[in-house]
Structure 1
Amino acid sequence: MMEGLGFFGLLAVIIVLFFLFLYYVPVLLWFSALVSGVRISLIQLVLMRVRKVPPSVIVRALIEANKAGINSIKRDELEAHYLAGGHVTSVVHALVSAAKANIDLTFQMATAIDLAGRDVFEAVQMSVNPKVIDTPPVAAVAKDGIQLIAKARVTVRASIKQLVGGAGEETVLARVGEGIVSSIGSSMSHKGVLENPDSISKVVLEKGLDAGTAFEILSIDIADVDIGKNIGAVLQIDQADADKNIAQAKAEERRAMAVALEQEMKAKAQEARAKVIEAEAEVPLAMADAFRKGNLGVMDYLKMKNVEADTSMRDAISKSPSDKPNKK
């Protein structure tokens, strides 16, 4: 019984060691490379395992490049690019596609594009098959005050030499939108733009908007032009409303000043009446003082009263009958 268990244990150890040997010494992968015309030793494959580089990725990339007739790619360069965080498979796909399309793309340039964060294989495909980018609606106002809303389709092709450090699609769309606004804004009338929308494309293309970008603009086509608001009329209405509000504010200010002046005059009139009443109140006091000092006698006072009565009687007689109040 013990001998049977010992045999199966030994067999299990042998199987584990066999799979470990195949893992660190990929004989099948080496044989596949050999029959594909790629010269690589088993020692190099083992060292790849030690350097944490998957041998299958490197060997398959070498086989693909060799079958495409690209013999300038070295194993050390592929390993270095993988260890730098690059995508070996994408780089080799891009080199093969570029070679088939007669595009000048070196291994150093492809790895630089890949390490810059761009998809080098997609860039090569875009260079062969241009991409169409739809711009968002761009609103602009012609000189006659009419707003136009334009949509454009920009056909771009990737520029391999400018992919590293070149601006992206957002910059291209922003520049195209700026060019559309400038072109419509310089038009005398919105009717001219509606009659000849390709004039916008010509003006925008002449500005060289693809300078410093990772793309080459092939064409700009105006897909749609819609009429928006009458901005000129809206501005005039707003200006008229503002002028009206200013005039109303000034009129209200003048009215408030007039009311304040009226109140001030009323206060002055009340002050004058108070002074008159105060002066009239001093007359009896003055007469009483004259009596005490002997400057005014009783007869003088009676004569003054007779004169006042006589004056009142003459005023009453001199009044016309129409001035007299009607008695019911």
Structure 2
Amino acid sequence: MIFTLIAQAPPPQIPMSTLFWLGIITVGVIALLGGIFITKYFNLWIQAFLTHANVSIMDLVGMSFRKVNPNIIVRSKIMAYQAGLSEKDGLTTRSLEAHYLAGGNVPNVVRALIAANRADIPLSYKRAAAIDLAGRNVLEAVQTSVNPKVIPCPDPAQGRPTIDGVARNGIQLKVKAKVTVRTNLDRLVGGATDETIIARVGEGIVNAIGSAETHLQVLGKPDSISKRVLEKGLDAGTAYEILSIDIADIDVGDNIGANLQALQAEADTRVARAKAEERRAFAVAQEQEQMAAVQENRAKVVAAEAEIPLAIAEAFRKGNLGINEYYNLRNIQADTEMRNSIADAGNVRREASGAQQ
């Protein structure tokens, strides 16, 4: 019953003044949103429209929701279209947005494509984007393809001023080289960089110097080093193509062969001295052993002489030795001792006269 009465009741009447203000507020909100839209998107849209870059209003709005900077995308696409590139080359709005969201440098990629197109270098958008995402400066790579760069070998920043090699005659040569390279865009992703080129060229120079019979051959024809090094294909697996290897300077270093021979001779001398000292120590040991043997024999003689009086006494007791025979033996011993003392005195006088002279 209550609901029937409410349904039959007339609708409330809204005053005209309220409707007027509601209309003004609605128009103001619409005008505000339109002003924000025009301020943020219309300028970019009109630029894209006038340059035929094919970027719609909905694309610009979608970029904002996808956290993409529309200024970078629109201006990069305008730059590409003005340079003669188009969506046929892969430069669609979606592909540029995808590269931006992947963390790539969209303007750098577009500039690289423009530079490659102007230099007639085959470079697709897909490869350029891959190079950029790999952390390489794709624009610099294209510029190096057009204008080759020179790499000093060795790198002065590494602290070694020259590459040192030794010829077969033992003379050391100090070499400075300059390697002219051009970027190989097909091998840029995953290819080795400057450090590998410097290391390979340095190794090749050392091998070339070591293969020379004398250092004069290298000094007479420095280009022989370059030719031999270039024949080895040192740019395989690198991001560059080696155009030339130029020998900038060659200096003669030390005579490594003579120094090694001197060191070897000194080592041999030390070995010989050690062996001689070993032989001397062995001889001294033998001498001491002989002296010990002499003393031992003398002790035996003394022991034998100590038995003589006992033997004489035994002979007296048994009657085998008479008193006259005993005195004759004593006279002979005394005569022998006298002769020995006279001989020793003469030797002393001769030695003294010789020392005075």
Coarse TM-score class (shorter-chain normalised)? 0.7 to 0.9
Equivalences for residues 87-236 of structure 1 within 5 A: 87-136=105-154, 137-236=162-261
Aligned mates of 2:209, 2:252 — CA distance in 1: 12
The one-letter code sitting in structure 2 at the alignment partner of 1:243 is D
Secondary structure of the residue that 1:246 maps to in structure 2?
Answer: helix
Aligned mates of 1:280, 1:116 — CA distance in 2: 108
Q: Quick check: 1:46 aligned with 2:66?
A: no
Aligned mates of 1:96, 1:230 — CA distance in 2: 56
The one-letter code sitting in structure 2 at the alignment partner of 1:309 is R
The one-letter code sitting in structure 2 at the alignment partner of 1:93 is R
Q: Quick check: 1:323 aligned with 2:343?
A: yes
Determine what percentage of the aligned residue pairs are the same residue.
52
Aligned mates of 1:324, 1:69 — CA distance in 2: 127
Aligned mates of 1:19, 1:87 — CA distance in 2: 32
The one-letter code sitting in structure 2 at the alignment partner of 1:170 is E
- Alignment partner for residue 272 of structure 1, among 288, 297, 318? 297
Aligned mates of 2:146, 2:287 — CA distance in 1: 87
The one-letter code sitting in structure 2 at the alignment partner of 1:30 is W
Residue 5 of structure 1 corresponds to which residue in structure 2? Answer: none
Could you list the per-position Cα deviations for residues 176-203 of structure 1 after superposition, in whole angstroms to 9, with x for gaps in the alignment?
Answer: 1122112211112211211211111121
Which runs of 5 or more structure 2 residues have no equivalent in the other structure?
1-24, 155-161, 347-357
Aligned mates of 1:42, 1:50 — CA distance in 2: 13
Change (3 A) 1:260 1:313: closer
Secondary structure of the residue that 2:150 maps to in structure 1?
Answer: strand
Could you list the per-position Cα deviations for residues 251-296 of structure 1 after superposition, in whole angstroms to 9, with x for gaps in the alignment?
Answer: 11111111111122222333333444455566778899x79xxx94
Check conservation: 2:131, 2:137, Cα contact below 8 A: yes
- RMSD of aligned Cα (Å): 3.2
Residue 79 of structure 1 corresponds to which residue in structure 2? Answer: 97
Could you list the per-position Cα deviations for residues 27-69 of structure 1 after superposition, in whole angstroms to 9, with x for gaps in the alignment?
Answer: 3222322223222223322222222221111111111111111
Secondary structure of the residue that 1:117 maps to in structure 2?
Answer: coil
Secondary structure of the residue that 2:104 maps to in structure 1?
Answer: coil
Larger radius of gyration: 2
- Alignment partner for residue 250 of structure 1, among 275, 290, 312? 275
The one-letter code sitting in structure 2 at the alignment partner of 1:196 is K
Aligned mates of 2:39, 2:98 — CA distance in 1: 20
Q: CA deviation at 1:25?
A: 4.8
Aligned mates of 1:262, 1:217 — CA distance in 2: 75
Aligned mates of 2:134, 2:321 — CA distance in 1: 124
- Alignment partner for residue 74 of structure 2, among 42, 53, 59? 59
- Alignment partner for residue 310 of structure 1, among 306, 328, 331? 331
Change (3 A) 1:45 1:123: same
Aligned mates of 1:117, 1:201 — CA distance in 2: 32
The one-letter code sitting in structure 1 at the alignment partner of 2:271 is I
Aligned length: 307
Aligned mates of 2:103, 2:35 — CA distance in 1: 27
Which runs of 5 or more structure 1 residues have no equivalent in the other structure?
1-9
Residue 70 of structure 1 corresponds to which residue in structure 2? Answer: 85
Aligned mates of 1:58, 1:257 — CA distance in 2: 94
Q: CA deviation at 1:100?
A: 0.7
Check conservation: 1:30, 1:40, Cα contact below 8 A: yes
Check conservation: 2:312, 2:321, Cα contact below 8 A: no
Change (3 A) 1:202 1:267: same
Tell me the TM-score normalized by structure 2: 0.76
Tell me the TM-score normalized by structure 1: 0.82
